[in-house]
Structure 1
Amino acid sequence: MNEVVVITGAAGGIGQAICAKLIQRGMRLVLVDIHAERLAQVAARLGEQATPFAADLTDHSALQRLMEMVADKFGRIDILINNAAITTVEPFDTRSVESIVGELNINLISPLVLTRLAIPLLQRSADARVVTTVSIGGIFPMPESPIYSASKFGLRGAMLSIGLDLAAKGIKVGSILPAATETPMLQKEAIDGGNALQFMDPPQQPEDVADQVLLMLDKPCLERTPKASESWISRLAMLFPNLLPRSIRLFKKRGEKGMQRYLESLGERGLAQRVDGRWELK
């Protein structure tokens, strides 16, 4: 295919799974991540078709340099994949203002800025596409992760709007809305006592999300959800937002049991251990 793909969060669990599948299709990848050493290792595994570019996504000058590098080396962008995200497990009433702004910058502001900066290079492609990893948290609120929910609600709405706007300009825009996915970020969240609602069902694998990205590329649309059942439950619950206090209590009981099973599975796989009655990652 020889298409040029720029993907953020390339060194993370979902990012690596997406990259592995895109390389199999013969695409040329520009891997973007803040973790330079890990990024270099991922690029080395993927081979000469992968170009690493370490960058802090909240540094808009770095994003501009990224676009300049891509323009010089490839001349265009065929596919932009906004995949990077973080989550912080901390009660809203004790979080610092800096951490709130930081999470919003990475999850919401940076993908919008990068998409905007990429438009001139996307317009040079014969089949330009933008794919964004949002979250089921962009549909359903998560009490333990209000800033993550805010960023994903906002990102989903923005990408739907941008998709409607750019379709007439030759750029197809779509979002993937995964539920809990087996990544180091999810493992840490479980250890830290994060959002129990994510564990109502066993987590999906990064490859499940990557498969949806490929399907989005083959059959573009505004949104796809790896776990359709969770999407419909979330959408149905949101039809009656005033019932959320009651419905979340029911979901949370199921989620807490699922989280305990997940923590035990981490222990069985040698990824975590109990220390003084608390789970810790190894």
Structure 2
Amino acid sequence: MAYNYAGKVIVITGGAGDIGMSLARRIAPLGARVVLVDIRAERAVTQAATLPVHPAAGGTHVGLGCDLTKRDLVEELIAHIEATFGRIDVLVNNAGMTSSERFAERSVESIERELTVNLTAPLVLTRLAIPLLERAGDPRIISTVSLGGVFPLGETPIYTASKFGLRGAMLSIGLDLAARGIRVGSVLPSATDTRMLRQEAIEGGNSLQFQDPPQPPERVAQAMMSLLDRPRLEAYPRIGESRLLRAVMTMPNVLPRLLPMFRKRGDRGMAKFVRELAARGDIVQTETGWRLAEGEAHPELTQP
């Protein structure tokens, strides 16, 4: 059965980014009341104002700024949502980050930061949101994980570690919270045409994820909505790709021999993506190289 969005309070972290807004633009016309949470407070407010308000929503959409790595700010966020809405029907954990810095070169502080943003923060927010979720008639939790939570990405081991951890945690939480009436699911997309991926491409990030052209954010949003229509623990926007990678991971010792076979194709795919970004005007050439046209990337951006 199709999920009934009418009057539902749906909180989306990383909400002002590509995937978050793709989801918001689809559910707002169906009657949901959307709460966009983003570290970029002004952008969250601006983006929330662009969403259409359905009569069944029961009020306007809201944009809220919050650094989800700060527990006191997360507690304030939960208190604000409680005072304004009284409950959360759907919590979408979608904020995240990555870095193109190689493991042997990056600082310990940057490692701790990435693990906090991608793994600790969504778990803390989920835990603090449980009382508000339990006030809903049909509470749900959806988390953006990544195929990086299934398949190791050599150039970005901390991203891989955080996503392996988040996937396992959400599987466990889903089993645990089912007894409390809270249904939990995760979406595991491969490379998605988001600001974060664009930044990674111009910085020479993990080329293996460019075997195929990046999917549009709308495809990930559709997978999220499918979890509401048909609750389950995991959904894969590109099911064929996910099956291949999951099959390979039954034999992890083949990875050192297998990955070089795909490296050249990935390098070509990443170079093609950069050319497409330039043609679209999403990146501009400077004296020091490419940069995003809309300015410097923020460390906390929407997930791939």
TM-score by length of 2: 0.90
Amino-acid identity (%): 52
Paired residue type of 1:163 = G
Q: Residue 80 of structure 1 aligns to a residue in which SS?
A: strand
Asked whether the equivalents of residues 69 and 116 of structure 2 are also in contact (C-alpha less than 8 Å), the reply is yes
> Is 2:62 the partner of 1:57?
no
Match of 2:41 in 1: 36
Q: Cα RMSD between the aligned structures?
A: 1.4
Asked whether the equivalents of residues 6 and 30 of structure 1 are also in contact (C-alpha less than 8 Å), the reply is yes
Q: Residue 142 of structure 2 aligns to a residue in which SS?
A: strand
Q: In structure 2, list runs of 5 or more residues that go unmatched.
A: 1-5, 53-58, 294-304
The counterpart of 1:225, out of the listed 214, 228, 236, is: 236
The counterpart of 1:255, out of the listed 262, 266, 270, is: 266
The counterpart of 1:96, out of the listed 107, 110, 134, is: 107
1:251 Cα offset (Å): 2.1
Q: Deviations over 1:39-90 (max 9, x none)?
A: 1210111256211110100011111111111111111111000000100110
Q: In structure 1, list runs of 5 or more residues that go unmatched.
A: none
1:280 Cα offset (Å): 3.9
Q: Deviations over 1:95-134 (max 9, x none)?
A: 1111101111110000000000011111111100000000
1:276 Cα offset (Å): 6.3
Q: Residue 92 of structure 1 aligns to a residue in which SS?
A: coil
Paired residue type of 1:34 = I
1:164 Cα offset (Å): 0.5
> Is 2:88 the partner of 1:83?
no
Q: Residue 29 of structure 1 aligns to a residue in which SS?
A: strand
> Is 2:70 the partner of 1:70?
no
Match of 1:157 in 2: 168
Identify, as 1 or 2, the structure richer in helix: 1
Match of 2:30 in 1: 25
Distance 2:26 2:262 in 1: 34
Asked whether the equivalents of residues 185 and 227 of structure 2 are also in contact (C-alpha less than 8 Å), the reply is yes
> Is 2:156 the partner of 1:148?
no
Q: Residue 18 of structure 1 aligns to a residue in which SS?
A: helix
1:277 Cα offset (Å): 9.2
The counterpart of 1:240, out of the listed 248, 251, 259, is: 251
Asked whether the equivalents of residues 23 and 49 of structure 1 are also in contact (C-alpha less than 8 Å), the reply is no
Distance 1:276 1:56, change over 3 A: closer
> Is 2:112 the partner of 1:107?
no
Asked whether the equivalents of residues 143 and 187 of structure 2 are also in contact (C-alpha less than 8 Å), the reply is yes
Match of 2:192 in 1: 181
> Is 2:21 the partner of 1:4?
no
Alignment of 1:116-127 (within 5 A): 116-127=127-138
Distance 1:53 1:280 in 2: 27
Asked whether the equivalents of residues 186 and 233 of structure 2 are also in contact (C-alpha less than 8 Å), the reply is yes
Paired residue type of 1:49 = T
Asked whether the equivalents of residues 49 and 62 of structure 2 are also in contact (C-alpha less than 8 Å), the reply is no
Paired residue type of 1:152 = K
Match of 2:205 in 1: 194
Moved more, 248-257 or 51-60: 248-257
Asked whether the equivalents of residues 8 and 31 of structure 1 are also in contact (C-alpha less than 8 Å), the reply is yes
Match of 1:129 in 2: 140
Distance 2:60 2:261 in 1: 48
Match of 1:45 in 2: 50
